[in-house]
Structure formats: C-alpha cells, structure tokens
Amino acid sequence: MIPHNAVITEVIQQTPTITTLKTDIKLEALPGQFVMVWVRGLDEVPMALSHPDSITVQRVGEATVALSGMRVGDSIGIRGPFGNGFQLKGTRIMLIAGGVGGAPLLPLALLAHAKRLDVTTIIGARTGNELLFEQPFSQSGSVSVATDDGSKGYHGFVTGLMDRFDLESFDQFYVCGPELMMKNVLNMLQVKGIEMRSQLSLHRYFKCGIGVCGACTIDPSGQRVCKDGPVFQADMLIYSELGKYHRDATGKKIVY
C-alpha cells in the first residue's frame, strides 16, 4: 500500500496531448491492470501500465497536466498493480483502442503476439496526429486507423471501420477508449449476437483504488471498477450506466 518512489528516466511526447513517462521501476502486471500514480502535493490518479516501466498520460485536468509537464529526474509515487486485467482467449483477436485507450491494450497486443495469436488492431482518434502507438501495435499484427476528421485512414468512428471486417470470425474483442465509443462498439457486437466475446476496460473516478471507498461503483450491479474491474465482460455492462453517466469526486452523476 505504500507507494514506490519512481524516478522518471525518459519522457516521450507521443502526440500533442499524450506523453509517455518511463521510470526506473519495472512492475510485473497483467495487461489492463492499473497503478495509482501519486503526483505529490496534488492528487493520486489511476493509470494503466503501457509497459512494465511506463505510463502513458493524456492531459485532461490538474494531475494529468502536472504529469505531462514532468522532466527526467522528477519523481512520482506508484502503488499497484491493481485490478483484474484482460484475459487472452481464442486465436484470432481484435483490439479496439480510442485515444489514450491504447495504453492498456499495447501490452496485451505484445503478449498476444508472443503467444502467436492473430492480432488485428483498430486505432481511433479525433485527428491523425492524435493516433497513439500505431507503430508499436503494427509489430503485433495488422493495424487500421480511423479519424473523426478524416486526416488519416478511415474517415469516421471506429465502428464504421469495424464494419469492414468479418467480425464473426474473431474470437475475442478487447476495447478501451472514450465511453461513448465503447458503448457503440458494444451495441454493434450485440446486434451481431457476439457481444459476449468482448472485454472492455472502464475509466471511472477512483479514490482508494483498492475496493474500500466505493467511489467507483457502477450501477446497477454495484461492482467496483477498481477491484472487480477495470476490465468487464459484456454481460456486466449491457444494462449498466455505461455510456449514460459517470460520477465525479463528490458522487454526483455526470451525464454524457
């Protein structure tokens, strides 16, 4: 429970809003597990491990702006890894990454490749220069990209691009990205009757990160995203708050 002190050894600007911080500690974790990152004097926030020694941060608010501004030699506190992570199933899999959602999916792609699975990755972003990890994902299999503004790859949402694939031929779908994107992917798989082949990683506001405080529970199941997730199968999410609302630090509902 006591954070490890991690010193930043390299800062990589991945996109205009996304930065990878490499540190001097390596953690053994399942792809999709997360760590609690303590930004001293400010906050503690959940982050996936994009590599055993790295986190990949998108600037959205106070803590992530501070992390994105860190330099080599600065330090953060790290607790974890926590949560359940993704489970590899079958031989032919599709990864669907929206924005910084590529962070927990990259280690999964590398593990799947090492196990000789057939990996197809779809990466979506608002615009071409915000596509994350296109090159590293391509080391594990084929990659297709979609941008909202059409500046690179397919012009439109990842679901439009998915439609070009024979989805029934995939054994499992792994999804992480903006919540409305995940909801649309789930709806699409549901229409085809293959939603139970999906695993989705959820982002929620976390306080303790270890299942004690209840800040991250999802309705109506009461499952805690930090302890029972962050990865859930479709049956836990289809009739849930996914894509409808989440809660802020005070517990107030924020409708999408």
Ligand X SMILES: Cc1cc2nc3c(=O)[nH]c(=O)nc-3n(C[C@H](O)[C@H](O)[C@H](O)COP(=O)(O)OP(=O)(O)OC[C@H]3O[C@@H](n4cnc5c(N)ncnc54)[C@H](O)[C@@H]3O)c2cc1C
Of 42 and 213, nearer to ligand FES (C-beta) is: 213
Round to whole Å and give the CA distance between 143 and 66. 32
The residue type at 228: D
Of 64 and 184, nearer to ligand X (C-beta) is: 64
Of 102 and 229, nearer to ligand FES (C-beta) is: 229
Q: How would you classify the pairing of strands 198-201 and 172-176?
A: parallel
Classify residue 252 as exposed, middle or buried by CB count within 10 Å of its CB (0-12, 13-18, 19+): exposed
Q: Which does 224 bind (CB under 5 to 8 A by kind): ligand FES, ligand X, none?
A: ligand FES
Q: Is the dihedral of CA 157, 158, 164, 166 positive or negative?
A: negative
Round to whole Å and give the CA distance between 188 and 70. 39
Is 206 a binding residue for ligand X by CB under 6 A? The answer is: yes
Q: How would you classify the pairing of strands 141-147 and 154-155?
A: parallel
Residues of this chain that bind ligand FES (CB under 6 A) = 206-209, 211-216, 224, 226
- The residue with tokens 């139970």 is 196
Is 203 a binding residue for ligand X by CB under 6 A? The answer is: yes
Of 30 and 154, nearer to ligand X (C-beta) is: 30
Is 12 a binding residue for ligand X by CB under 6 A? The answer is: no
Closest CB 47 distance from ligand X, rounded Å: 4
Using CB under 6 A, which of 30, 36, 57, 215 touches ligand X? Answer: 57
**Alpha-carbon dihedral angle through residues 245, 250, 252, 253, given to the nearest 10 degrees:** 0
Of 123 and 154, nearer to ligand X (C-beta) is: 123
Q: What is the CA radius of gyration of the chain?
A: 17
Closest CB 62 distance from ligand X, rounded Å: 4
Using CB under 6 A, which of 6, 29, 30, 63 touches ligand X? Answer: 63
Binding site for ligand X (CB under 6 A): 34, 43, 45-48, 56-58, 60-64, 100, 103, 203-206, 230
